[in-house]
Amino acid sequence: MDFRDVLKVDRWYKALFYVALVVLVWSFFNDAKGLSNPTLQLLSGGVVLYTVGEWRAERRVYKPDFLGMWSWLVKQQDAVSLFLQVTGVVLVVVAVVRIFLRC
């Protein structure tokens, strides 16, 4: 497997992962306008955790055939991916509650 295949943005959660990771790193070094940095870090960190859990739950299944090899993606949750997704959702909910309670 090539390293470029891992970085290829071909699923929605991979694009969201990269955007949330940039926002998370940016929020460590810069002041955010309109949101407090801890709230922004909770929100982007929760999205990063959720998308990593979604990425981990994806498996490629191979089936040989007389024409060649068929492959497709299936979603198989394990304990780690489920933990990451639940933790990510909890962090996003906490961040949204903090945003709305501030107003």
Domain locations in the chain? Answer: 3-102
For every residue of 79-95, which 3-state class applies, written as one string? HHHHHHHHHHHHHHHHH
State yes or no: pLDDT of 13 exceeds 60: yes
Contact 73, 30 (CB under 8 A): no
* Per-residue confidence (pLDDT) for residue 87, from 0 to 100: 97
* Per-residue confidence (pLDDT) for residue 3, from 0 to 100: 67
- Residue percentage of the chain with pLDDT more than 70: 93
Q: 């709230």: which residue's tokens?
A: 39
If one compares 74 and 53, the residue with the highest pLDDT of the two is 53
Mean pLDDT of 5-30: 88
